[in-house]
Structure 1
Amino acid sequence: MVFSFMATISNWTDAVWPLGMLLPPVAFGMLWYGLWLLRSFQPQERIWQEALGEVKLLGLFNLGLSPFLHWHHRAPDELGFANAVWLLALVFVFYLMSLNKMLSRLAAMLPDETLRVESKLFSRMNCVLLAVASIGFGVKFGVMCLISFNIEPPELLLQLAATAASQPWLLMGFVLAFMLIPLSMTMSLLWKTKESILASVFRSPH
């Protein structure tokens, strides 16, 4: 996902326009396919299947909105494309929150006690940070929608948006604290869960 996003906003995608347009959907499609492969794991566990279904549903929203990353890069002044990109950012935050909840449910069914404790702790931490991120992205998306419909946003929201635009380091700090840190911890939990599953399969007594 990081690779496809960087490729989408880079200038060299203009020279390979079809590939640049396809990179984000391919990346999000691979994420959704990985979740789809989990459908047959513990189908009798209702709570686990509900958590998995929620992540898959949000993954479909990400997949549908992902082409707007490239289209917004090619037409940055188009408000419709900008609104779709901010909506994608907001949905992706909820996707990460649901993914953390799903990983916690998955760890609860595995024999690794350490993984269960870590998943429970870090999933809660990630959800708190991502909840703050969802507020920020939600405010930005709301302002963009009001502007696109020629509705004057509240003065406070306009001041916040102007401050973020005039001081990019604030936006970068916000993204680092409330997006990149939860994303890195989520990837770490995914890796540890994969290692625990492999260990339980290949080291189990026969």
Structure 2
Amino acid sequence: MDSTHTKEMYLDNASTTPIRGEVLNEMMPYFTHNFGNPSSLYEIAQVARNAVDISREQIAKILNCKPSEIVFTSGGTESDNMAIIGVGRALSDKGNHLITTEIEHHAVIHSMEAMENQGFSVDYVGVDRQGIINLDELSSKINSETILVSIMFVNNEIGTIQNLQEISNLVNDKAQGLGKKIFLHTDAVQAAGKLDLDVEALGVDIM
């Protein structure tokens, strides 16, 4: 077929998507006029500050959390890095063991590898043919040194949806038996806009 008659079809929406017209229209005033530093005191900066505060409140309602618990980052990779490396370093006096799965996004895998290089122990839980985590294996790997379990909500390659409530119950039961707190982190990038992200209902500590 003559290449001049071919039509490009974009099939990588799970990675990134074209900006919606509605979003672009909402953002245009901040691209063109109200672009001030939201930490400054002049007028357009305060307009930007107000927009950030409103966004934080709206997102908190979606996640069923406090606005003060929302942290804006550059994207999913930075968020995963901050969660895993941040918790690991902050709680290193409570334990040095982290758990994740074999099919996490590279952002999580690379963060775990970074923690291993810093002396932490990391276990990778297996999954079945559909990508569902083996709960018995997860349970067996949790020990007195475990401080964080990181399991993605929706897989970015095969679309598997993990039962976070069930995972949360298991982690909390094991933690209670050990007399400690074990944090549950989930990469929910692929779930956004598709599934309920109520962190209280899901039993997630960090999303």
Whether the TM-score (by the shorter chain) exceeds 0.5 is: no
Q: TM-score range by the shorter chain?
A: under 0.3
Query: Normalized per residue, which structure has more helix?
Result: 1
Query: Normalized per residue, which structure has more strand?
Result: 2
Indicate the structure (1 or 2) with the bigger Cα radius of gyration: 2
- TM-score using structure 1 length: 0.27
